Amino acid sequence: MSSKRKWDQPGPLSDESAPTPAKTEEKESRSASDAAAAAAAIAAKIAAQFASGAIGPGIGDHEGDFTRDIDINDVRNRYMLTKGSTQTEIHEETGASVSTKGVWYPDRSKATEKDPPLYLHIAAKTPEILQKAIDKVNELIAIDLGSLVEDKKDRLREKRKWPEEKLPVGLESIRNFNVRAKVVGPSGSFVKYIQQETGTRVQIKGIGSGFIDQETGRESDEPLYIHITSPEEGQVARAKVLTEDLLLVVRSEHAKMAAIVHQQQMELHQAQAQYAAYSAMAVGFSFSPVFTLVFPLLP
């Protein structure tokens, strides 16, 4: 793709829009004041929670008259439930204290009475507050977090959703004409040119391409083809036009070379036939009856 021209670059800022030392100092002062005010508000909130006994060993931890333990050792969302921000949210919404207890065991059969499986301990002053907290925890447990680990194959499938084109090459390599090398150009220059002009990814795939699929670990079983892909359909369309022009040239050169190879093969066959005929005549001449009669008479 052509480089961005200098007249496409934004011009210098005018005197009115350019930042001045005074404006910069004013902006920095305002940012510092805002940060200080936010910090003071947070400090006041924390101090109020401590004064009311809302914060202790756990989030709002206090031993109320009503408690409930919820086992989360095998819950898929346990990572979210044990986060301080999540437990703070439950406390602020319901008024109940929430704390993490126990130990997470991949194999819960190894848990002991001293170190039980991972669980949440909920304490509340009233049954209503306790039930609200229980309902909130169950609501969070039911949330579908999707895949916790991004799968490599999922990423590959996502890439395949981009617009794409597959252009068959339709040629076989012959003597002095490697199809793949002719398509990609010297040091891959032809393919690189198409990619730079269109912003696409252009790859040679299929039998004889040397392209190894990451999923299968081998070449595709399809005949040789050019694969074009890009997030934009317009870019793919432009690359397709350039690639088709390239294939026209390659096919023309292939036809010329095929004609030359065919002519060379014909000349070789003729030469072999003439040599075979000459050899047969020589063998026949060596064993003719005349020589058989004459040789014994020689002194």
pLDDT tens column, 144-203: 665 544 455 555 555 457 899 999 999 888 888 888 888 988 988 999 999 999 999 999
Residue reference for tokens 């669980």: 119
Per-residue pLDDT, 127: 92
- Sorted by where each starts, the structural domains of the chain and their CATH numbers stand as 66-141 (3.30.1370.10), 152-271 (3.30.1370.10)
Query: Does the pLDDT of residue 9 top 60, yes or no?
Result: no
Average pLDDT of 30-41? 52
| CA separation, residue 147 to residues 56, 85, 141, 151, 154 (Å) | 34, 21, 15, 8, 10
Six-digit token string for 176: 């002095």
- The CA-based angle 148-152-154, given to 5 degrees, is 75
Averaged pLDDT score across all residues of the chain: 75
- pLDDT for 71 beyond 90: yes
Task: Give me the amino acid identity at 263.
Answer: Q
Q: Does residue 78 surpass a pLDDT of 90?
A: no
Q: What is the mean pLDDT of residues 99-111?
A: 88
Token representation of residue 249? 């040239």
State the pLDDT at residue 271: 83
CA-based angle 105:109:113, to the nearest 5? 85
Residue of higher predicted confidence among 91 and 214: 91
Average pLDDT over residues 72-98: 89
Angle, CA of 58, 63 and 65, to the nearest 5°: 145
For residues 203 and 224, give the distance between their C-alpha atoms in angstroms, rounded to a whole number: 11
- What pLDDT, on the 0 to 100 scale, is given for residue 289? 54
Q: What's the pLDDT tens digit per position in 109-144?
A: 888 888 899 999 999 999 999 999 999 999 988 886
B/e letters for 186-208, b = 16+ CB within 10 Å, e = fewer, are eeeebbeebbeebebbbebbbeb
- Name the pLDDT band for 219 (thresholds 50, 70, 90): confident
Q: Classify strands 225-229 and 201-205 as parallel, antiparallel or unpaired.
A: antiparallel
Residue 268 has pLDDT above 90, yes or no: no
DSSP letter at 147 equals -
Residue 110 CA to residue 116 CA, distance in Å, equals 9
Alpha helices in the chain (DSSP H): 21-51, 78-81, 84-94, 127-141, 152-159, 179-184, 189-198, 233-286, 289-294
Which residue from 61, 58, 77 is spatially nearest to 139, judged by alpha carbons?
77
Helix axes 127-141, 84-94, angle to 10 degrees: 140
Helix (H) or strand (E) holding 133, with range, is helix 127-141
- Percent of the chain whose predicted confidence (pLDDT) is above 70: 67
